Structure 1
Amino acid sequence: MNRLLQRWLEREKPLFPKLRAIPLFRELNRRELEAVVQLIEIRKYSTGDVVFEQGAPGDGVYVVLKGYVEVVQKDGEEDKKVLLAQSESGSFFGETALLEGVPRTAAAVATEDTKLALFSRDALHQLAEQRPHLGVKIAIQLSRIVAERLRQTNHSLQVARDELAAKQKEDGEDES
């Protein structure tokens, strides 16, 4: 390994435990993680800064290295915002953007000084071209994450349907 790369890896070493802690990169060995770290872009945000707007093109997954981010969605015509998720150090958000570059369905806002690591769609494509095995490994993990989130959403939806049906039944009995 050349000296420049070795110095760079030493400087970026603190990223390794944070990246390894998230499911997307958990299964990677050290060499694979080094390849990922070389493609990550570090971004800093101040309190109130918008990480991305609802409707903006999805560019990749963000890992919170330091700070706190809220993911919010505009609710209808009103300017009311619904809190969808809160991401703190060691968590991640925006992973579906790795699959497709469709517009973001929510906005992300830093609620304190925040440092994020962005792993972009372009970086994933570059990895897949240069190291196909690694690209496939990340894509498999990504599909597992998205499938789990879909299961959780379906469960939440079923619970809400059951509660609504119970409420409607209760209201119908009250009217009789």
Structure 2
Amino acid sequence: MLDMDLGVLGLSPLLVGLKQGEIEALLSLALKEGYAPGEVVVEEGTPGDTMYMVKSGGVTVHKTEKQGKEIQLASLESAGDFFGEMVFVDVMPRSATVRANSACELLAFPLNTLKEFFVGHPDAHLAMVLNIARVLSKRLRDADEVIVELKTGGKIG
């Protein structure tokens, strides 16, 4: 099972730059969680202390607007996709709801477990923080594009 995890999940953008031994050690700490289609993994507005990685299946990310309508922001359907990474950055409540869109298996990484891992693997810590920063930066750039499109009606200039 660990071999399959290494082969597929080792390609995750979260794990770029980690040595094979670090990836093995990290994956050995993961809690495996299964979710049925439609089941909520994390709920917007609730406290969060866990980051997740998709092992199989997929999830969708939703934000609730002021009138209560749920808007889908993203779909994460590739092994190695991750969410909940903002637990590293701030102690704010979850910013979105994540729901299984198919039967899925996720790897859960509680923040306390990750902190213990990082004590013994400082290079992995640095690599993962930089990887998270890259992903957050891309998401922010993508959101900026959407904002510009919404504000200009798709017309720039």
Given the alignment, which residue of 45, 51, 65 partners 2:41? 51
Once residues 154 and 121 of structure 1 are traced to their aligned partners in structure 2, the CA distance between those partners, rounded to angstroms, is 29
1:24 corresponds to which residue?
A: 14
Contact 1:50 1:107 (C-alpha < 8 Å) held by counterparts? yes
Query: How many angstroms does 1:76 deviate by?
Result: 1.1
Give matches, 1:55-94, under 5 Å. Answer: 55-78=45-68, 80-90=69-79, 91-94=81-84
Once residues 39 and 101 of structure 1 are traced to their aligned partners in structure 2, the CA distance between those partners, rounded to angstroms, is 22
- Kindly indicate which of the two structures has a greater share of residues assigned to helix: 1
Given the alignment, which residue of 83, 87, 102 partners 1:97? 87
Contact 1:67 1:88 (C-alpha < 8 Å) held by counterparts? yes
Query: How many angstroms does 1:67 deviate by?
Result: 1.4
Larger relative contact order (Cα-Cα within 8 Å, sequence gap ≥ 6): 2
Amino-acid identity (%): 28
1:8 corresponds to which residue?
A: none
Q: Max radius of gyration: which structure?
A: 1
Contact 1:70 1:109 (C-alpha < 8 Å) held by counterparts? yes
Unaligned runs of 5+ in 1: 1-10, 167-176
Letter in 2 for 1:119: F
1:174 corresponds to which residue?
A: none
Contact 1:32 1:134 (C-alpha < 8 Å) held by counterparts? yes
Unaligned runs of 5+ in 2: none
